[in-house]
Structure 1
Amino acid sequence: MKAAPGSDGDDGAASAGGSRRQEADPALDRLTAAFMRLLSEHWIQSEKLAHLTRLLARGNVIDPAELEAIGRETETDPAYDQAAADFVRRILAPLREPVGKAD
């Protein structure tokens, strides 16, 4: 395949005589850590919610309308606001840490 005009023909693959070295980007590492932490938190919460929903439905403990009402109540709850702020702080912690200190 012919290289595009103005390119050096290097597609990032290792050449016959050596290998291409990529430098680590600390900012990208920190962003990746935050993203992975967010994915982990999301999965844990999704799993817990699925289990609780099944238990509630199985036992006829709560109907969907009650569940929605509880959700609306949290919109004005200061404790919920604090929990949300703590969640965001925990998720974004790797982005606030000095380079080289992220988990």
Structure 2
Amino acid sequence: MAEFLLFASRYHFECQSCHFFNSPPRISKSSATDHHWIPLDIGCLKLNTDVTIEDGSLTVGIGIVIRDSVSLVLGCASVKIHWYFSPHVVELLALLEGLKFAHESGL
């Protein structure tokens, strides 16, 4: 876990160093158009994660859902962490927890 936190901290720092905080966001014409969902290839899985940070506490909630190519839910889980990290690190932790869940579930 300590190695992951070090990796996440470095990754977060690199991401922040790439952003220009005083420049307006760039929106390309293609990003403003409707995009339709394209089904996954047969045999592929999709991992979705989401996080919530409780105001005034050191609690982070992580939600995990894994679906197959026809959108059937193969597994879902939630994880509660009693510690506070930056939102970027929490998102990375959610992905780590999702991958661990998929691996432990044999997916």
Q: Give the TM-score taking structure 1 as reference length.
A: 0.24
Q: Give the TM-score taking structure 2 as reference length.
A: 0.23
User: Which has the larger share of helix?
Assistant: 1
User: Which has the larger share of strand?
Assistant: 2
Larger RCO (CA under 8 A, 6+ residues apart): 1
